[in-house]
Amino acid sequence: MSLLYDEGQQAIATESRKVADARADKARLLALLERGGAYDETFWATAREQGWTALALPEDYGGLGLGLVELGLVAQATGAATAGAPFLTPGYGAAIALLEGDDAELKARWLPGIASGETIAAVAFAEGQSPLPERPTARLTAEGLTGEKPGVTGAAHAHIAVVWALADGEPALVLAEIRDEHRRPIDGFDNSRGLADLAFANAPAQVLVKGKAARAAAHDVLARMAVVTAHEQVGGAEALLHIARDYALTRKAFGQPIGAFQSIKHRIAELYGLVEIARANCIHAASRAHETGSEADFLKAAAAARISATEAYDTAARDTIQVHGGIGVTWETGLHLHMRRARSLAIEQGNLMWWEDLLVRELTGVAA
């Protein structure tokens, strides 16, 4: 796919940004920080009404038949607005997992709900500190699914989860319905992420993909979610870049705009560099994935996007607050919404070190 956005894609970028900004409400987002187990219903209603939930799903299942490029553009808009619900990314991940399986019945049962947003899906791959353990401890047997998955984004509200587990000793992507006894919500520093620990004990679950294909599928799902997240990080970093620039132009110290001091001026210029490099990596990565299946270099491209976007958002959060001085650390100014989100997104889909190691393995064949 091309590295240049076509008109339709540019329209999605503009429109989603317009809508996300218009419906975002800082006071509401700030309030959510102090309310465990809640999310921004206005945003989620918007995402469903705008068809963002359906964007990258096949038309056969009520989707719009677009792809990662378009979903990435929407994620950039929601990232800029520090959107108050995390369901788009895992919804897409779960859909890809379903599509990579070959169970027509399961697809027909769940994909339309994911497309409409009626069904909230979580992706529960991680165990311990690994976003995708070599041999998960979660087990699927004749009795059902048994195992624990810590800190799953969206799981406090999700109806289903795609779980990375062992089925008869083989790695597998497994789909389970989440009931309240399965989840223990977690209070976090970014509460609208709907975090919960999941614990299944002989819960009913179906295999989506199993064996060697499952490992490849799991990597593909995680990499696609990482690319969506990278777009979200770029959106957040770019929003901060503009906030910092605008403040540096208006705020005065010692009789001149603080943007005239090189410590401020050059720092903002460096942010521009980080944002543009991450954006370019995101566009490239998104262009390497197809409706299902990806180019051979997709993992590398996804890792590059993930790494540069994480660095960009973290640096932008640190520096934009610093550029603001005292006003930058007040609750009301709300720059900490970005700082908290930057940390959430740096950890969801696996931290920098994990992606560095994956990338180097892809580049050199040498495992960490």
Partner 1 sequence: MSDLEDFRLRARDWLASVAPEFARPARRGLSVEDDLAVGRRYMAAKYDAGFAGINWSPEIGGQGLSNLHKIAFDAEEMAWGMPVGYFGISLGMPIPILIQYGQDRDWVKQRVVKALRGEEIWCQLFSEPSGGSDLAALRTKAETDGNGWKLNGQKVWTSWAQYCDYGVIVARSDPTVAKHKGLTYFWVDMKAPGVEVRPIKLAGGDSHVNEVFFDDVKLAGDQRMGEVGGGFGVALHTLMIERYIATDSAGFGPHLDVFVDLARELEVNEKPALEDGRVRSAIARNYAMRSGLEAITRRAMLMMEAGMQPGPEGSLQKLVAVRSRQKLSELALDLQGNTGLAFDPHAYVKEDWGASWLNAPTGRIAGGSDEVLLNTIAEKILGLPQDHRPDKGVPFNQIPA
- 360 binding partner 1? (CB under 8 A): yes
Scan residues 228-247 and list those touching partner 1 (CB under 8 A): 245
Residue 16 is encoded by which pair of tokens?
A: 């989603």
- 263 binding its own copies? (CB under 8 A): yes
- 86 binding partner 1? (CB under 8 A): no
- 252 binding its own copies? (CB under 8 A): no
If DSSP codes are grouped into helix, strand and coil, which group holds residue 151?
strand
Rounded distance, CA 164 to CA 288, Å? Answer: 24
Selected from 7, 180, 255, 296, the binder of partner 1 by CB under 8 A is: 255
- 256 binding its own copies? (CB under 8 A): no
Of 68-76, 102-110, 176-184, 258-266: span binding its own copies (CB under 8 A): 258-266
Cβ(258)–Cβ(323) under 8 Å? yes
- 128 binding partner 1? (CB under 8 A): yes
Residue 181 Cβ, how far from partner 1 at the closest point, in Å?
Answer: 20
Rounded distance, CA 70 to CA 84, Å? Answer: 20
The burial of 131, by beta-carbon neighbours within 10 Å (0-12 exposed, 13-18 middle, 19 or more buried), is given as buried
- 261 binding its own copies? (CB under 8 A): yes
148 binds, among partner 1, its own copies, none (CB under 5 to 8 A by kind): none
- 14 binding partner 1? (CB under 8 A): no
**If you write DSSP's letter for every residue of 256-275 in order, what string do you get?**
EEGGGSHHHHHHHHHHHHHH
Selected from 39, 335, 341, 345, the binder of partner 1 by CB under 8 A is: 335
Buried b (16+ CB within 10 A) or exposed e, 301-312: bbbbbbbbbbbb
Residue 271 Cβ, how far from its own copies at the closest point, in Å?
Answer: 15
Q: Which of 3, 18, 30 is nearest to 305 (CA)?
A: 3
Residue 367 Cβ, how far from its own copies at the closest point, in Å?
Answer: 17
Where does this chain bind its own copies (CB under 8 A)? 261-263, 266
